[in-house]
Amino acid sequence: MDVMWAPWRMKYIGSDKPAGCIFCEKSAAGSDPANHIVWRGRQAFVLLNTFPYNNGHLMVAPYQHAGNLEDLAPDVLTELMMLCQDAIRALKRDFKPDGVNMGINLGSAAGAGVKDHLHIHVVPRWQGDTNFMAVVTDTRVIPQSLDDSYRILHAAFKALRG
């Protein structure tokens, strides 16, 4: 069995959480580049994870503040999945991962850092993308800035959906 260790995320997990909802606040804010919102659909949007496992780690979220999958209307679910498809297409096009992890954590017991606003993680993975830094120094090396990832992925979404 392979195990994915992410000890560098303990700082995020153990930190005080913002009072509001990051997905509601970011989607309502005026600057998509500053908030790393890669694409906006009618009922959902795509943004970069500020605490990524890998460069290009995306999240797809509905504008609706809902923590339960069963609370979303079929058209919202459809757009979420279509944006996930485009996220994978964009990552394959420009990041060329060997694979992609995609998942939803429903509730805090399932690992949801933001349990009241459903979101889907889309994480590019490469063969050997873990290295000695995480094991020896409790440090994760992300080889690309969020701003660079944003520029690349925004252009990819524009090409796919624009």
- Helix or strand holding residue 45 (H, E): strand 44-48
Identify the three-state secondary structure at position 117: coil
119 is catalytic: yes
In the set 36, 57, 117, 119, the catalytic residue is 119
Q: Render the chain in DSSP notation, one character per residue.
A: ------GGGHHHHHSPPPSS-HHHHHHHSS-HHHHTEEEE-SSEEEEE-SS-SSTT-EEEEESS--S-GGGS-HHHHHHHHHHHHHHHHHHHHHT--SEEEEE---SGGGT-SSTTS--EEEEEE-TT---HHHHHHS-----S-HHHHHHHHHHHHHHHH-
Residues 46 and 35 sit within 8 Å (Cβ to Cβ): no
Q: What residues are annotated to the active site?
A: 119
